[in-house]
Structure 1
Amino acid sequence: MTKLIISASVFQSQVADLLPCNGYKKSQLTYALLDAYNLLNYFDVVIKTPYCSKEDLLRFHSATYVDQLMNDTLNVIQEGDKIEDDWNQLGEISDQWNDSNDNIPKERRFYSREALYEYFKAYKLNPKEIANTYNNVRSIKRMKLDNVTLSNDELLKKYNLTGDCPLFSYLPMYLQVNTGATLVLEKYINLPPPGENDFERIIGINLDGGRHHASKQSARGFCYTNDIVLLIQRLRKKGFQRISYIDFDLHHGDGVENAFKYSNFIQTISLHLYEAGFFPGTGSLKNNKPPNLVNIPMFHGLNDKYLQTILNKIIIPLIDQHNPQIIVIQSGGDGLSGDKYDEWQLSIHGLTKCIMELVDRFTTCHCIVLGGGGYNELIMSRFNTYLTWNIVRKYSSQIQNGLIKEYIEDDFDYLIPDHEFIELYADDNYKYWSYEQPGNDKFKTLRNNNTPDYLEKCIRNIFPNETHLKRSVNRSAP
């Protein structure tokens, strides 16, 4: 038996889109498309108001860093960020569509960040109780506190809250909601009782999670707190002994790797672009300590066929060795064809197929699917929806007779369903597979710099003592 849990709502998507690199619309477009296909109706549990406390963040992050992030003075509109229309650019579009279709929205939309924050304050836990708990945990946190008072500019530099990780309006609320949306999934995951054969498998999803760069006391790469590390720590505390983390993001999952590089219980596998000058500049083959710490560094132009070979020859054998009780998948989509990075040429079909093979193969362990990178918001809404649809149609207990009413067809002429943000897809002629149709002006082919010989080098590095895995790679494959 499988139970599906997702953290998703209009509220959560609007909070997630406070993050500047989301373009103020990535999460809202995804949620609207999930809603257009009625996919949330097929979940056993839909979490609409996620939350985590300062205490939760302290389980990994340093006290002085959390103090800086969670300063109440940041729960306001910041100087230089006062244009409400930037964040609320989708509000008017939503209103116009609802009015023209005589539609009554299922969920409340917020038209100012202040209104969003007032709603957040109304549902979160008792502030006094939280403050007392936080202060207690902070007082016993093992760390060396600074004796030197730093200026604000020095503090920002120390915690890297500049450049790609600037302070933005309502940052504390964003962190508590976005991180909470991942951590709340843990509440539904339990170890099966000894000798119990009736295993209830949980597949949990937070498409706004996957902030894999954040370190213990520093923000990095658009990531302020590391929800992945915090989640894995919770699962370990709950009694899970073996956990596998697989990262498909274009960027190296450095924050997660560093947190668990000395652990024999946590396996971290990161597939990423590794080229001179590309962030974060880590994750080479030299750093590998298989089977628990594994990097699969790739070059420009990675395609579906090569990815599939990596999955079959490296990733699945590694997970088999670890025999996890739970797998955590970071499904970053910045390697998709059409992404603003324009480095890899993965298709929505290809990346989804690889993720689903992991979900389908390791059925005796729980599975958490988190989001990640992806900087073409229109592509990411399609990818996130297609991935969710695939999980739902195979594992939802809410589907009667194995049938699902909502279909995403593979026909290249298949159109995105009419919904409140449909006009944002007009430049793609409203086609779902616009970026995967040969001959379409959106379709691009990059030179694949990843060769069969390089893949064989990776295999030899990762499986140095297993001759059956070192057999030659089919020269016509990737």
Structure 2
Amino acid sequence: MTVEPNCSVQVGLLLLSPLDCFYCDLVPSNENRSSLITSLINAYNLHKLPNVQLINYRKCNKQDLVKFHDKSFVDFLMKERKYIDDELDHEKFKSLMELAKFSKKLTNSKTSAVDGEEEEKEEEDNEEEEEENSDYSFDEDQNESAAENLDKLKELGLIYDCSIFPYMNKYVEIIGGSTLSACDWLIRKYKLERIKSRIISINWFGGRHHAQKTKASGFCYINDIVLGILRLRSVFDKIIWCIQCF
């Protein structure tokens, strides 16, 4: 592809929702990293710069992940673990509930008009829900085993630097989906613009590249870089991959 020297630059920037940012902040090796990234983007108004467009992203699914990762690894990684999710400390749990309700309200406001009476009723329901959640016991599921098979965890790399943590499956969906969405945005712009513009797609929430096909590794639960490259290879013959770890 030849780019004209005086062509314009189009930049796609991915910004996570507050709820998704919360889930990503739970990663043991990078606690609160996603919030820090979001704060810096907002502080410098990077998303408001000329030629910058926010990228709409989606969550990835198992079908996306098995394009590179082994199916048995993906199944184990994406399994819901309520007994671990419930280990979230009480303050973080309350924050999660508030963000979940905010996200739900935001979604509802986009799809239907809510009159004043309905809003008032929703607020009352939320207050009741908060009271119920304030008494939530993290030890309620006594019948659910809290112990994974240690040999299995070692085999899949889900121990030590990549230990299992609350809402890990949601984190994987977000990280994988954000990178794939950033690649899809770039592909769409390329097909639309061809050589008219320089196109840059940025996802500061992804970049996990140590994970192997069958196991997590080096603080990386999935390899969203490889997933992104595979997506780009559907359009481009050659991909140059440069990475710098800090």
Deviation, 1:12, is 3.5
CA separation in 2, counterparts of 1:117 and 1:220?
A: 34
Aligned position for 2:47: 40
Deviation, 1:28, is 0.7
User: Aligned to 1:82, which of 58, 74, 88?
Assistant: 88
Deviation, 1:77, is 5.8
Aligned position for 2:184: 187
Aligned position for 1:458: none
SS at match of 2:240: strand
Deviation, 1:56, is 0.3
| Structure with greater contact order relative to length (CA < 8 Å, sep ≥ 6) | 2
User: Aligned to 1:13, which of 16, 21, 25?
Assistant: 21
Please identify which structure carries the higher helix content: 2
Amino acid at match of 1:51: K
Structure 2 regions of 5+ residues with no counterpart? 1-7, 108-147
SS at match of 2:160: coil
User: Aligned to 1:66, which of 62, 74, 84?
Assistant: 74
Aligned position for 2:34: 27
Cα deviation 1:178-226 (Å, max 9, x = unaligned): 1111110121223967xx9743322111111111100001001110110
After superposition, the Cα gap between the structure-2 partners of 1:79 and 1:190, relative to the gap in structure 1 and judged at 3 Å, is: closer
Aligned position for 1:265: none
Q: Percent identity?
A: 33
CA separation in 2, counterparts of 1:170 and 1:219?
A: 16
CA separation in 2, counterparts of 1:218 and 1:175?
A: 13
Alpha-carbon contact 1:12-1:178 (below 8 Å) kept: no
Alpha-carbon contact 1:77-1:170 (below 8 Å) kept: no
CA separation in 1, counterparts of 2:168 and 2:233?
A: 28
Aligned position for 1:225: 222
Cα deviation 1:102-160 (Å, max 9, x = unaligned): xxxxxxxx81269549959x97xxxxxxxxxxxxxxxxxxxxxxxxxxx7322212101
CA separation in 1, counterparts of 2:103 and 2:213?
A: 30
Aligned position for 1:111: 95
Amino acid at match of 1:175: V
Aligned position for 1:363: none
Structure 2 counterparts to residues 139-288 of structure 1, below 5 A: 152-190=149-187, 198-238=195-235, 240-249=236-245
Amino acid at match of 1:242: K
Alpha-carbon contact 1:11-1:48 (below 8 Å) kept: no
Amino acid at match of 1:169: P
TM-score (normalizing by structure 1): 0.37
Alpha-carbon contact 2:55-2:185 (below 8 Å) kept: no
Alpha-carbon contact 1:182-1:209 (below 8 Å) kept: yes
After superposition, the Cα gap between the structure-2 partners of 1:157 and 1:201, relative to the gap in structure 1 and judged at 3 Å, is: same
SS at match of 2:54: strand
SS at match of 2:242: strand
Cα deviation 1:368-403 (Å, max 9, x = unaligned): xxxxxxxxxxxxxxxxxxxxxxxxxxxxxxxxxxxx
Amino acid at match of 1:112: L
Alpha-carbon contact 2:19-2:100 (below 8 Å) kept: yes
Q: CA RMSD in A?
A: 2.9
Aligned position for 2:62: 54
SS at match of 2:161: coil
Amino acid at match of 2:197: E
Amino acid at match of 2:231: R
After superposition, the Cα gap between the structure-2 partners of 1:169 and 1:14, relative to the gap in structure 1 and judged at 3 Å, is: same
After superposition, the Cα gap between the structure-2 partners of 1:232 and 1:197, relative to the gap in structure 1 and judged at 3 Å, is: closer
Deviation, 1:247, is 1.4
After superposition, the Cα gap between the structure-2 partners of 1:48 and 1:21, relative to the gap in structure 1 and judged at 3 Å, is: farther
TM-score (normalizing by structure 2): 0.69
Alpha-carbon contact 2:12-2:54 (below 8 Å) kept: yes
CA separation in 2, counterparts of 1:245 and 1:117?
A: 39
CA separation in 2, counterparts of 1:178 and 1:197?
A: 28
After superposition, the Cα gap between the structure-2 partners of 1:113 and 1:176, relative to the gap in structure 1 and judged at 3 Å, is: farther
Structure 1 regions of 5+ residues with no counterpart? 89-109, 124-150, 250-333, 335-478
